Amino acid sequence: MEAAQRVADLRREIERHDHAYYVLDSPTVPDAEYDRLFRELQAIEAEHPHLATPDSPTQRVGGKPLAGFSQVRHVVPMLSIRTETDTEPSGAMAFDARVRREMGLAETDPPVEYAAELKFDGLAINLRYESGVLVQAATRGDGETGEDVTQNIRTVRSIPLRLQGEVPEVLEVRGEAFMSRMDFERYNEKQRAQGRAALVNPRNGAAGSIRQLDPAMAAERPLSFYAYGLGETRGWDLPATHGGVLDALAAFGLPVCEHRAVVQGAAGLIAFHARMRELRDALPFDIDGVVYKVNALSLQQRLGFVTREPRWAVAHKYPAEEMLTTVEAIEVQVGRTGAITPVARLAPVFVGGVTVTNATLHNEIEARRKDVRIGDTVIVRRAGDVIPEVVSVVLERRPMRDLLGDEPLHPAFELPKSCPVCGSAIERPEDEAIARCTGGLICPAQRKQALLHFAGRRAMDIEGLGDKLVEQLVDNAIVKTPADLYKLGLLAMVNLERMAEKSAANILDAIAKSKQTTLARFIFALGIRNVGEATAKDLARHFGTLDALMAADVDALQQVPDVGPVVAASVARFFAEPHNVEVIEQLRAGGVSWAEGEPSAVVNSPIAGKTFVLTGSLPTLTRDEAKDMIEALGGKVAGSVSKKTDYVVAGAEAGSKLDKAQALGITILDESQFRELISS
């Protein structure tokens, strides 16, 4: 009996931590404590197998591989949604005009209220909860019948296996399963390092994960989920509006995206479309547009459907993140670790909001697998601020030597034998995917790339330290290691070619500003092989301090989630190298610092787990700086104000967010009050 009670308590506590971590994105306990609870639960369940019920958090990856998926008939059909391809404000106006016409509204009638949300780019899933327990998850299929993917969906950590609060008898939740950009990049990094095929885009990654017959394989390709609607419900008084439905789903513990709003009329839709477009690159996942829904469920019912599509909803697109263009040349670049990366030079193409002229082919194996050649028409992808990449070749458009079309005009890509920068031999170890320049110490490209990486936006974020400047600093032997950056004076800078005093001062300023950073950024900036941004964050979170990380041996490193033997070995090797340690000591001596502490100390900070919204311009802090300070102390920054917001930090020209915060009675801080709070 005692065991049953302990199991129930442990589950409740683990569910609470899972919700905080995966849904609210604000961890409540250090990893080690979570692991301890989890292991205790596993141990009791192993001893008392009858207690290991399917809704236990230990049972997420329990299932055996299936022979095939069985079919699920949807009680309420899963509809699709009309797409507005006009990406301009006129697209929103057309929808509003249509709704008003259908409802017989005159121009003088008040604006229609809409719920606006993001259009996630993944797969529609129906989750069925009976008495609050997840009993089935199904794909959309043809809308009438989908496939039972319960086993795979159970591996999605943000999807509760059990709902919180007063739960309806039956609740079907509809939403999108998708792969975040970070999970996509991380999976692909791993695949590429092993010379294996990478996922084409997060959407395909999500589809592949859902279609896995072996749930253990699905768990390898982690997915996220956001709820956006309902299927069948029984024993529940529906809220009056769509916004109310989403609030209720969030209260049940389901993940609902914070970027949503209830707005009035076409003007409100247009403003939301514009605001989300600004935010698009910074989101941790791809969106291909926004979705507008008439907010009142009674009006939705009145508007009804035309062939499988509701009249009360529309998807308003953004410019595509994948576009076609042609390859003008293929060159190679030398990276900071000597890695040779083939790069396609492209006919300029507008994709994901910017004009792209280069796209990475990642490595020799991938370039060969994709078989990209000069003259080819290719699909280019640019999403977020990640490097644009060639996704695939449109083979039927390949230029051929003759009309029969069996001999391509251009040969297959081959890696050069020597480094284009220093002339040293290029080598590729047999069991590795990446070829490298062997001129480690003499190759200027490696030093330059190391500095550019260090200064990069996602690393130390030194604005203005770009290609040209790094080139001059390295070629003139002014800077050899990142630590030298913090020793630069105005004199050395002004003496550089074409450097005005003003811009020299600006760069020195940016360098000084970069000194205050986060541990994760610092680790990433070091450019340790196999340590990307995601791994750097994991390491920072796990170890809490740089000294703890530097002292960790390969075994200790492998305790970090997602760190395997390869990554652990490169981290250990990096810190075992005295030159590297010397540079790190010089950087610290030069004033580079971050908020340090055990992960638990972060949890105890005055703002741990608190949600901030930043609005307007602050007198001395940039938005990114404020964000970093908040995150370093375990707080979270959201894009919009809601009941969940704890603080709004407002500066000059704060707009609607400030109004909303006032309306909701949320604490509003100016910069000095904010500084006071975080130092309390």
- Active site residues per annotation: 119
Instruction: Count CB neighbours of 19 within 10 A.
Output: 17
Measured from the CB atom, the residue of 291 and 332 that comes closer to ligand IVH is 291
Q: If binding is defined by CB under 6 A, does position 23 make contact with ligand IVH?
A: no
Is residue 578 helix, strand or coil?
A: helix
Q: If binding is defined by CB under 6 A, does position 213 make contact with ligand IVH?
A: no
Options 229, 253, 352, 544; binder of ligand IVH; rule CB under 6 A: 229
Q: What is the dihedral of CA 177, 628, 487, 478, to 10 degrees?
A: 30
Q: Give min distance, CB of 652 to ligand IVH, in A.
A: 34
- What secondary structure, in 3-state letters, does 485-514 show? HCCCCHHHHHCCCCCCHHHHHHHHHHHHHH
Q: If binding is defined by CB under 6 A, does position 313 make contact with ligand IVH?
A: yes
Measured from the CB atom, the residue of 310 and 408 that comes closer to ligand IVH is 310
DSSP secondary structure string for all residues of 140-196: -TTSSEEEB-HHHHHT-TTS-SB--SS--SEEEEEEEEE--HHHHHHHHHHHHHTTP
122, amino acid identity: G
The DSSP secondary-structure symbol of 57 reads G
Q: Give min distance, CB of 651 to ligand IVH, in A.
A: 31
Measured from the CB atom, the residue of 228 and 574 that comes closer to ligand IVH is 228
Q: If binding is defined by CB under 6 A, does position 80 make contact with ligand IVH?
A: yes
Options 114, 184, 228, 522; binder of ligand IVH; rule CB under 6 A: 228
Q: Give min distance, CB of 255 to ligand IVH, in A.
A: 13
Is residue 401 helix, strand or coil?
A: coil
Options 112, 124, 552, 658; binder of ligand IVH; rule CB under 6 A: 124
Measured from the CB atom, the residue of 30 and 231 that comes closer to ligand IVH is 231
**Joined tokens for residue 243:** 């916004």
Between the CA of residue 567 and those of 186, 216, 555, what are the distances in Å?
A: 12, 22, 11
Q: Which segment (116-124, 195-203, 469-477, 665-673) binds ligand IVH by CB under 6 A? A: 116-124
Options 179, 256, 291, 568; binder of ligand IVH; rule CB under 6 A: 291
Q: Spell out a b/e string for 487-522, using b for 16 or more CB atoms within 10 Å of the CB, else e.
A: ebeeebbeeeeebeeeebeebbebbeebeebbbbbb
Number of helices (H), then strands (E), in the chain: 26, 26
Instruction: Count CB neighbours of 464 within 10 A.
Output: 14
Measured from the CB atom, the residue of 11 and 140 that comes closer to ligand IVH is 140
Q: If binding is defined by CB under 6 A, does position 77 make contact with ligand IVH?
A: no
Q: Spell out a b/e string for 251-286, using b for 16 or more CB atoms within 10 Å of the CB, else e.
A: ebbbbbbbbbbbbebbebbbbbbebbbeebeebebb
Q: If binding is defined by CB under 6 A, does position 120 make contact with ligand IVH?
A: yes
Q: If binding is defined by CB under 6 A, does position 310 make contact with ligand IVH?
A: yes
Measured from the CB atom, the residue of 140 and 373 that comes closer to ligand IVH is 140
Q: Which segment (118-126, 217-225, 465-473, 656-664) binds ligand IVH by CB under 6 A? A: 118-126
Q: Give min distance, CB of 79 to ligand IVH, in A.
A: 4
Q: If binding is defined by CB under 6 A, does position 94 make contact with ligand IVH?
A: no
278, amino acid identity: E
Which chain residues interact with ligand IVH by CB under 6 A?
79-81, 117, 119-120, 124, 140, 176, 228-229, 291, 310, 313, 315
